[in-house]
A and B are shown apart, each in its own frame.
Chain A
Amino acid sequence: MATLLAITIFLPILGSVALALIPDRDGRTSRRVAMAVALATLACSVVLLLAFRPSVEGPQFSAADKATGHYGLSWVGHDPETRSGPDIRVAFGLDGLSLWLFVLTSLLMITAICSSWESVKERVAAHYGFLLALQTGLLGLFASLDIVLFYIFFEFTLIPLFFLIGIWGGPQRRRASVTFFLYTLAGSLLTLLGVIALVVVHYQFSVDKTLTFSIPELTQGLAALDWKPWREVGSWGSPQVLIFLLLLAGFAIKVPMFPVHTWLPLAHVEAPTAGSVVLAGVLLKVGSYGLLRFNLGMTPLGAQACFPLIASLAVIGIIYGALTALAQTDVKRLVAYSSVSHMGFIVLGLFSLNQTGIDGAVMQMINHGLTTGALFACVGVIYERYHTRSMNEMSGLWNRMPLLAFFLMLASLGSAALPGLNGFVGEFPILVGSYAASPTAAVLAATGMILGAFYLLWMIRKVLFGPLKEPATDGHGHEPIASADAHSHDHDQVHPTSSVPPIGWHEIVGLAPLMFLIVAIGVYPRPFFEQIQPATRAIVRTIEAERQMAYEDEHPQPVQRVRRRGGGGGGTTATKKAEPKKAEPKKAEPSKKGEESKANTKSESKKAPAAKSEPGEASSIEKGGR
Chain B
Amino acid sequence: MESAYEPGFFVRNAWLIPFFPLLGALVTAVGARRLRGLAHLPVWAGIGLAFLVSLGTLASADHAAKYTVFEWLSAGNLEVPFQVRVDGLSTMMLSMVTFVSGLVAIFAAGYMHGDPSYPRFFALIGLFVASMTGLVLSNNYLLTYVFWEGVGACSYLLIGFWYARPSAAAAAMKAFLVNRVGDFGFAIAIFWLWSIAPGHDLSYDSIFAAAESGSIPTSAIAGISLLLFWGATAKSAQIPLYTWLPDAMEGPTPVSALIHAATMVTAGVYLLARSMPMVAMAPGVQAVIAATGCATALLAAAIALTQNDLKRVMAYSTVSQLGYMFMALGSGVGDVAQLAVVAAMFHLFTHAFFKALLFLASGSVMHAMGDVIDMRRFRGLRHRLPITYLTFAVGALALAAFPPLSGFFSKDEVLGAISGAIHASESYSWVYQIVYWTALVTAFMTAFYTGRAFFLTFHGPEKLPSPNDPEAPPVDAHAHGHADDAHGHHHEIGHESPPVMAIPLMILAGCTVLIGLICLVAWPITGGPAEWFAGHLEKTLGFEALGHGEHGFSWFTATLGTLLGVGGIALAYVMYAEPGPLPARMKERFGALYRASLGKFYVDEFYDATVVAIVRISASISDFVDTYVVDRLITGIALIPRAIGRARLALYQNGLIQFYAASSALCVAFLLLFLVLLGLQRP
Interface residues of A (CB under 8 A from B): 182-183, 186, 258-262, 265, 320, 323-324, 326-328, 354-360, 363, 396, 398-399, 413, 418-420, 424-425, 428-429, 431-433, 435-436, 439, 442-443, 446-447, 449-451, 453-454, 457-458, 460-461, 464-468, 490-493, 524-526, 529-530, 533, 536, 599, 602, 605-606, 608-609, 612-614, 617, 621
Q: Which residues of B contact A451 (CB under 8 A)?
A: 615
Q: Which listed residue (A358, A450, A526) contacts B71, Cβ 8 A?
A: A526
B75 touches A617 (CB 8 A): no
**In the complex the two chains form, what is the Cα distance from A377 to B73 in whole Å?**
29
B482 touches A490 (CB 8 A): no
A and B contact pairs by CB, cutoff 8 A, 21 listed: A262-B631, A323-B619, A323-B622, A326-B615, A327-B620, A327-B623, A360-B78, A396-B481, A399-B164, A425-B73, A442-B188, A467-B164, A467-B166, A491-B116, A525-B72, A525-B75, A602-B195, A602-B220, A606-B195, A613-B200, A614-B77
Known contacts A259-B630, A457-B177, A617-B200; decide if A324 and B75 are in contact (CB<8 Å). no
Interface residues of B in 121-159 (CB under 8 A from A): 142, 145-147, 149-150, 153, 156
Q: Which listed residue (A258, A420, A612) contacts B150, Cβ 8 A?
A: A420
**In the complex the two chains form, what is the Cα distance from A525 to B168 in whole Å?**
34
Taking the complex as formed, is B634 at the interface, i.e. its CB lies under 8 A from any CB of chain A? yes
Q: Which listed residue (A323, A420, A453) contacts B176, Cβ 8 A?
A: A453
Known contacts A259-B633, A492-B117; decide if A602 and B153 are in contact (CB<8 Å). no
B194 touches A432 (CB 8 A): yes
B215 touches A524 (CB 8 A): no
A262 touches B630 (CB 8 A): yes
Known contacts A262-B626, A420-B146; decide if A399 and B72 are in contact (CB<8 Å). no
A327 touches B191 (CB 8 A): no
Interface residues of B in 187-206 (CB under 8 A from A): 187-188, 190-192, 194-200
Interface residues of B (CB under 8 A from A): 32-33, 71-78, 116-117, 120, 142, 145-147, 149-150, 153, 156, 160, 163-164, 166, 168-170, 172-173, 176-177, 180-181, 183-184, 187-188, 190-192, 194-200, 210, 215-217, 220, 481-482, 615-616, 618-623, 626, 630-631, 633-634, 638
A465 touches B163 (CB 8 A): yes
Across the interface, name the chain A residue whose C-beta is closest to B116: A492
Q: Which residues of B contact A182 (CB under 8 A)?
A: 638
Q: Which listed residue (A443, A450, A524) contacts B180, Cβ 8 A?
A: A450
**In the complex the two chains form, what is the Cα distance from A443 to B188 in whole Å?**
7
Known contacts A359-B75, A493-B482; decide if A435 and B116 are in contact (CB<8 Å). no
Q: Which residues of A contact B220 (CB under 8 A)?
A: 602, 605
B177 touches A613 (CB 8 A): no
Across the interface, name the chain A residue whose C-beta is closest to B612: A454
A457 touches B176 (CB 8 A): yes
A356-B77, A428-B187, A461-B173 known; 10 new pairs, CB 8 Å cut-off, are A324-B619, A354-B77, A355-B77, A396-B164, A431-B191, A446-B191, A465-B160, A525-B75, A606-B195, A609-B196
**In the complex the two chains form, what is the Cα distance from A502 to B183 in whole Å?**
37
Q: Which residues of B contact A606 (CB under 8 A)?
A: 195-196, 198, 215
Across the interface, name the chain B residue whose C-beta is closest to A530: B74
Minimum CB–CB distance from B136 to chain A (whole Å) comes to 16
**In the complex the two chains form, what is the Cα distance from A468 to B626 in whole Å?**
33
Q: Which residues of B contact A261 (CB under 8 A)?
A: 630
B188 touches A327 (CB 8 A): no
Known contacts A461-B173, A605-B215, A608-B215; decide if A621 and B195 are in contact (CB<8 Å). yes
5 tightest A-B contacts by CB? A356-B76, A609-B198, A465-B169, A355-B76, A327-B623
Known contacts A451-B615, A492-B116, A608-B215; decide if A466 and B163 are in contact (CB<8 Å). yes
A432 touches B163 (CB 8 A): no
| Chain A contact surface mostly | helix
Minimum CB–CB distance from B324 to chain A (whole Å) comes to 29
A413 touches B482 (CB 8 A): no
Q: Which listed residue (B78, B169, B192, B615) contacts A454, Cβ 8 A?
A: B615
Q: Which residues of B contact A320 (CB under 8 A)?
A: 622, 626
Known contacts A323-B615, A433-B76, A602-B196; decide if A453 and B482 are in contact (CB<8 Å). no
Known contacts A450-B177, A606-B195, A612-B198; decide if A464 and B78 are in contact (CB<8 Å). no
B187 touches A446 (CB 8 A): yes
B76 touches A358 (CB 8 A): yes
Known contacts A446-B187, A446-B188; decide if A526 and B73 are in contact (CB<8 Å). yes
**In the complex the two chains form, what is the Cα distance from A358 to B149 in whole Å?**
24
**In the complex the two chains form, what is the Cα distance from A330 to B660 in whole Å?**
51
Q: Which listed residue (B160, B215, B481) contacts A467, Cβ 8 A?
A: B481
**In the complex the two chains form, what is the Cα distance from A184 to B299 in whole Å?**
57
Q: Which listed residue (A429, A491, A530) contacts B33, Cβ 8 A?
A: A491
B191 touches A432 (CB 8 A): yes
B76 touches A617 (CB 8 A): yes
**In the complex the two chains form, what is the Cα distance from A183 to B637 in whole Å?**
11
Across the interface, name the chain B residue whose C-beta is closest to A443: B188
Q: Which residues of A contact B76 (CB under 8 A)?
A: 354-360, 429, 433, 536, 617
**In the complex the two chains form, what is the Cα distance from A6 to B187 in whole Å?**
44
**In the complex the two chains form, what is the Cα distance from A355 to B194 in whole Å?**
14
B622 touches A324 (CB 8 A): yes
Q: Which residues of A contact B619 (CB under 8 A)?
A: 323-324, 326-327
Q: Which residues of A contact B181 (CB under 8 A)?
A: 450
Q: Which of B77, B146, B623 has the most CB of A within 10 A?
A: B77
**In the complex the two chains form, what is the Cα distance from A262 to B623 in whole Å?**
11
A605 touches B622 (CB 8 A): no
B169 touches A461 (CB 8 A): yes
**In the complex the two chains form, what is the Cα distance from A127 to B619 in whole Å?**
36
Q: Which residues of B contact A420 (CB under 8 A)?
A: 146, 149-150, 153
Minimum CB–CB distance from A580 to chain B (whole Å) comes to 20
Q: Which residues of B contact A399 (CB under 8 A)?
A: 163-164, 481-482
**In the complex the two chains form, what is the Cα distance from A336 to B619 in whole Å?**
15
Known contacts A259-B634, A359-B76; decide if A465 and B615 are in contact (CB<8 Å). no
Minimum CB–CB distance from B22 to chain A (whole Å) comes to 11
Q: Which listed residue (A413, A435, A467, A493) contacts B194, Cβ 8 A?
A: A435
Q: Which residues of B contact A458 (CB under 8 A)?
A: 173
Q: Which residues of A contact B199 (CB under 8 A)?
A: 609, 612-613
Q: Which of A360, A457, A529 has the most CB of B within 10 A?
A: A457
Q: Which residues of B contact A608 (CB under 8 A)?
A: 215
B75 touches A435 (CB 8 A): no
**In the complex the two chains form, what is the Cα distance from A418 to B630 in whole Å?**
31
A429 touches B164 (CB 8 A): no
**In the complex the two chains form, what is the Cα distance from A536 to B74 in whole Å?**
13
B215 touches A419 (CB 8 A): no
Across the interface, name the chain B residue whose C-beta is closest to A525: B73
**In the complex the two chains form, what is the Cα distance from A605 to B193 in whole Å?**
13
**In the complex the two chains form, what is the Cα distance from A186 to B160 in whole Å?**
48
Q: Which residues of B contact A356 (CB under 8 A)?
A: 75-78
Q: Which of A398, A413, A490, A526 has the most CB of B within 10 A?
A: A526
Q: Which residues of B contact A324 (CB under 8 A)?
A: 619, 622-623, 626
Across the interface, name the chain A residue whose C-beta is closest to B153: A418
Q: Which residues of A contact B620 (CB under 8 A)?
A: 327
Across the interface, name the chain B residue whose C-beta is closest to A259: B630
A435 touches B184 (CB 8 A): no
Q: Which residues of A contact B194 (CB under 8 A)?
A: 432, 435
Minimum CB–CB distance from A360 to chain B (whole Å) comes to 5
Across the interface, name the chain A residue whose C-beta is closest to B181: A450
**In the complex the two chains form, what is the Cα distance from A524 to B81 in whole Å?**
11
Q: Which residues of A contact B116 (CB under 8 A)?
A: 491-493
Q: Which residues of B contact A357 (CB under 8 A)?
A: 76
B177 touches A454 (CB 8 A): yes
**In the complex the two chains form, what is the Cα distance from A182 to B635 in whole Å?**
11
A328 touches B210 (CB 8 A): no
Minimum CB–CB distance from A486 to chain B (whole Å) comes to 11
Minimum CB–CB distance from A445 to chain B (whole Å) comes to 10
Across the interface, name the chain B residue whose C-beta is closest to A430: B75
Q: Which residues of B contact A436 (CB under 8 A)?
A: 195
B184 touches A449 (CB 8 A): yes
Q: Which listed residue (B74, B142, B146, B173) contacts A529, Cβ 8 A?
A: B74
